Amino acid sequence: MMRRKALDLWAGVFVALGLGALLFLALKVGNLATFSAAQTYLVKADFDNIGGLKKRAPVKSAGVVVGRVEDIGFDTESYEATVTLSVDKRYAFPKDTSAKILTAGLLGEQYVGLSAGGDPTMLKDGDKLKITQSAVVLENLISQFLFSKAADSGNKDGK
Amino acid sequence: MPSTDNLVEVENVNFAYDSRQILKGVSLNIRRGQVVAIMGLSGCGKTTLLRLIGGALRPSRGEVRVDGRVVSKMHHDELYALRRRMGMLFQFGALFTDMSCYDNVAFQMREHTDLPEEMIDDLVLMKLQAVGLRGAHQLMPAELSGGMARRVALARTTALDPMLIMYDEPFAGLDPVSMGVIGELIRRLNDTLGATSIIVTHDVAEALDLVDYVYFMSDGVVVTQGTPDELRVSDKPFVHQFVYGETDGPMPFHYPAEDYARDLQTEDGR
Amino acid sequence: MIAVVEFLENLGARAIGAVHRLGFASRFLLLTVRNSGMCLRRFSLVVREIYFAGVLSLIIILVSGLFVGMVLGLQGYDTLERYGSSSALGVLVALSLVRELGPVVAGLLFASRAGSAITAEIGLMKATEQLAAMEMMAVDPIARVIAPRFWAGVISMPLLAAMFSAMGVFGGYLVGVRLIGVDEGSFWSQMQAAVDFQEDILNGVLKSIVFGVAVTWIAVFEGYDAPPTAEGVSGATTRTVVTSSLSILALDFMLTAFMFRGA
């Protein structure tokens, strides 16, 4: 069948184009290029309140993405949240690094920010971060604000 | 005429579709090497009978035996092996419209044999030559006339030299020349291949000139059988009406209706 | 009163009939998958169908993708600009396409173009006794005719959806960056930051695979089950398009709820 060769050719072109589109989406549109192949090590951190932190949220240091939130768990003994971070092996952090839960922009998604300490020993796979700061929960802020406002006016009246 | 060399034996077969009883106890035998016609009005169950012989349908009662084996009891592989030895020519050819005539005829050879392409090429051209259409092998089915399409389909049906060839209304809708051609091909192929042929038709003139034996069906049963000569002189009114194409007889001209005079006089309340 | 009872009887009968048909269709799907051996041994059959289902749908998919992307760019800019977030245009366009519009719109287009063609072709083959003839020649029509078309559809659909999304992103880029003047750097960088491979792209691909199975299954079944007349085939073709489209939308809802619940 003479037409068979033309069919094969076009079908092949079609599949190639399709795979190409998928590749384009994965690399240029998505974030596949940046992270999946990297080697990582795991570090744990406990927080009183993780706020809106989700799995696969970025872990940044000095604004640069250095890892991802791997897992979020709950410790039934200390009643704290245990967050497991996977950090790119290229970046070593000192043992006294602190982790803070920050918000990107005013109403953006939450991420973990790492501030490096000065300890000469570096974190190893499975270590726990000692210093953590929980997320700022908006409701608490507001009630704090209202409370302090009420206290202020109370003082003024009280005089 | 039961005999030990029957290729096909249909024994007291009943078949119903939904709630309609189509075959009500049909018995007939087809002897090897013969060309047999099964005739009757449309809807008497002729095509259903062909399907039963080919194993596409199962009888609700009775047996259909081909070459001694009961068709409805066959497993898939056995049935398909049997079908490779049978050929069926459908009413309008049923050629595969997405391939050329050549590929249509080559279809069975490519699917069921390991023959090399050069050999298939020779065989296809031979088969097309036998039906007189070797020159048209490049054409697509849509480019053929009805008669030509049917001839190519005939070449396709006989591609693997089947032992049993079935024809479903092979003469329907053809001009007299094409009818004659098909008739001659049916006879010639049957005799050259040493095959057995069953023709389902209501084309009396062509059939009676062509076949060795006739079975006559009406309303789901065989009403009469015999050689063409016997049928031509039959005194059964039904057969007489059919053979000579009379407008009125056991098959009435008028559809059942009320009294004519009364119908004209009254209003129907339309 | 009697009319109401009759109406209910009718409704009930049709509901039962629909369930009956669904059962038949499911058995048919199982049969198709079981008889797919020939598709592997003679892959050229599938390749041929990929040409007819996929390649011939390319033009409509690419053009539609481009236009949808461009419209997203225009509309998206208009809304985002009001909140000063026009640099997030890339994010809007990419996420809308990859998560939803790519699989769904490509699916709808595929159903109308390729699905209806498959139904018509198979229905016509049935009406002209080609399927019966094949059966009588000891070639299983399900293995030879139905299965290759089914797998071709399942393979083509995700590829078409990806191409739709890619063209859409390009269209959004053309309108946003080239036409309107959104910053090119932030267009792409914010997009890359927001579109996650696993969450968004892979889920989109999964959706399009599910849609591919649904549309092709419906197309192939309606063709095979069509009454062997002209009206029968035309009715079957219409049913394919309607049923496929509704299925895509319903499945999209279920899949989205399942996949994007957390996000």
- Does A10 reside within a domain? yes
**Residue C124: closest C-alpha in chain B:** B97
Inter-chain CB proximity A30 and C195 less than 8 Å? yes
Q: What is the mean pLDDT of residues B53-72?
A: 89
pLDDT at position C133 is 93
Q: Same domain for A50 and A118?
A: yes
pLDDT at residue number B1: 40
Distance in Å, alpha carbon of A108 to nearest chain C alpha carbon: 11
Highest mean pLDDT range out of B62-76, B165-179, C194-208, C239-253?
C239-253
Whether residues A25 and A100 share a domain: the answer is: no
Write down the mean pLDDT value for chain C: 92
Q: Tell me whether residues B94 and C130 touch, CB distance under 8 A.
A: yes
* Domain co-membership, A90 together with A44: yes
CB–CB contact A11 C55 (8 Å): yes
Q: Which of C162, C188, C193 sits opposite A25 (nearest CB)?
A: C162
Shortest alpha-carbon distance between residue C246 and chain A (Å): 25
Query: What is the number of domains present in chain A?
Result: 2
The reply to whether B74 touches chain C by the CB within 8 Å rule is no
Contacts of C58 in chain A (CB under 8 A): 14, 17
**Chain-chain contact of B56 with C129 (C-beta, under 8 angstroms):** no
Q: Given a contact as 3+ CB pairs under 8 Å, which chains touch B?
A: C
Task: Please give the average per-residue pLDDT across B188-212, as a whole number.
Answer: 89
Q: Quick check: is A148 in a domain? A: no
Which of A61-70, C47-56, C161-170 is least confident?
A: A61-70
Contact at CB, B90 and C133, closer than 8 angstroms: yes
Chain-chain contact of C192 with A19 (C-beta, under 8 angstroms): no
Among A101, A96, A92, which Cα is nearest to A72's? Answer: A101
If asked whether residues A63 and A136 sit together in one domain, one would say yes
Report yes or no on A157 lying in a domain: no
Based on the fold, state whether residues A55 and A14 are members of the same structural domain. no
Pairing of the two strands A110-115 and B6-17: unpaired
Percent with pLDDT over 90 in chain C: 79
Kindly report, residue by residue over C213-230, the tens digit of the pLDDT: 999 999 999 999 999 999
Q: Nearest by CB to C138, which of B84, B95, B96?
A: B84
pLDDT score, position B238: 74
A151 part of a folded domain: no
- Judged by average pLDDT, the poorest of A81-85, A130-134, C28-32, C69-73 is A130-134
Percent of chain A with pLDDT over 90: 6
Does B64 have pLDDT greater than 50? yes
Closest by Cβ to A18, choosing from C162, C196, C198 = C162
Same domain, A24 and A50: no
Task: Assess whether A82 and A96 both reside in one domain.
Answer: yes
* CA–CA min distance B148, chain C (Å): 16
Chain C residue with CA closest to A13: the answer is C55
Residue B232 has pLDDT above 90, yes or no: no
Say if residues C96 and C164 touch (Cβ distance below 8 Å): no
Residues A4 and A52 occupy one common structural domain? no
Could you tell me if A67 and A132 lie in one domain?
Answer: yes
User: Which domain covers residue A100, as residue numbers?
Assistant: 35-143
Contact C196 A31 (CB under 8 A): yes
Q: What confidence score (pLDDT) does residue C105 get?
A: 97
Write the pLDDT tens digit of every residue in A12-60: 999 999 999 998 888 876 666 555 566 888 888 888 888 878 777 888 8
Contact assignment for C197 to A30 by CB distance below 8 Å: yes
How large is the average pLDDT for residues B9-14? 87
pLDDT at position A2: 45
- B108 close contact with C: CB closer than 8 A: yes
Q: Which residue from C129, C136, C139 is facing B111, i.e. has the nearest CB?
A: C139
Distance from CA of B48 to the nearest CA of C (A): 13
Pairing of strands B213-218, B196-201: unpaired
Nearest to A17 among C44, C163, C192 (CB): C163
pLDDT at residue B4, as a whole number? 55
What are the domain boundaries of chain C?
35-259
User: Is residue A8 included in any domain, yes or no?
Assistant: yes
Contact yes or no for A21/C163 (Cβ under 8 A): yes
ipTM over the 0.90 cut-off: no
Q: Taking phi first (over 0 means left), then psi (-120 to 50 degrees means alpha), and beta for anything else, what does residue B153 get?
A: alpha
**B75 compared with A151, residue with greater pLDDT:** B75
**Residues 73-102 (C) with a CB less than 8 A from some CB of A:** 94, 98
The answer, for C191 touching chain A at a CB cutoff of 8 Å, is yes
Chains that touch A (3 or more CB pairs under 8 A): C
Residues in Cβ contact with C209 at an 8 Å cutoff, skipping those fewer than 6 apart = C154, C157, C158
Residue A154 in any domain: the answer is no
Domain presence at residue A102:
yes
Per-residue confidence (pLDDT) for residue B253, from 0 to 100: 65
CA C107 – CA C113 distance, rounded (Å): 10
- Of residues A88 and C244, the one with the higher pLDDT is C244
The CA-CA-CA angle for residues B237, B222, B249, to 5°, reads 20
**Confidence at residue B89, expressed as pLDDT on a 0 to 100 scale:** 94
Helices within chain C (DSSP H only): 2-34, 37-41, 43-53, 58-82, 89-95, 102-110, 116-127, 130-136, 141, 147-173, 184-194, 203-225, 230-259
Q: According to the model, what pLDDT value does residue B102 have?
A: 94
**pLDDT tens by residue, C98-138:** 999 999 999 999 999 999 999 999 999 999 999 999 999 99
Q: Are residues A48 and A14 in the same domain?
A: no
What pTM was estimated for this model as a whole?
A: 0.81
C44 and chain B in contact, CB less than 8 A: no
Within 8 A of C137 by CB-CB distance, chain B residues are: 83-84, 87, 107-108, 111
Burial A4-30 (b: 16+ CB within 10 A, else e): eeebeebbeebbebbeebbebbbebbb
Residue numbers in C near B81 (CB within 8 A): 138
Least confident residue range of A5-9, B258-262, C46-50: B258-262
In chain A the first and final C-alpha atoms are separated, in Å, by 103
Residue C163's pLDDT band (boundaries 50, 70, 90)?
A: very high
Does B111 or C199 have the greater pLDDT score? B111
Q: Average pLDDT for residues B136-154, to the nearest whole number?
A: 91
Question: What tens digit of pLDDT does each residue of C21-77 get?
Answer: 999 999 999 999 999 998 999 899 999 999 999 999 999 999 999 999 999 999 999
Give residue A62's Cα distance to chain centre.
Answer: 13
Q: How many percent of chain B have pLDDT more than 70?
A: 94
How distant is the Cα of B176 from the closest Cα of chain C, in angstroms?
24
| pLDDT of amino acid C101 | 95
Do the domain assignments include residue A98?
yes
> E strands along chain B, which residues?
6-17, 20-31, 35-39, 61-66, 69-70, 86-89, 164-168, 196-201, 213-218, 221-226
A22 and A46 belong to one structural domain:
no
Residues of chain A contacting residue C165, judged by C-beta atoms under 8 Å apart: 21, 25, 29
**Contact call for C138 and B91, based on CB within 8 A:** no
DSSP B96: -
**Whether residue A21 is found in the same domain as residue A48:** no
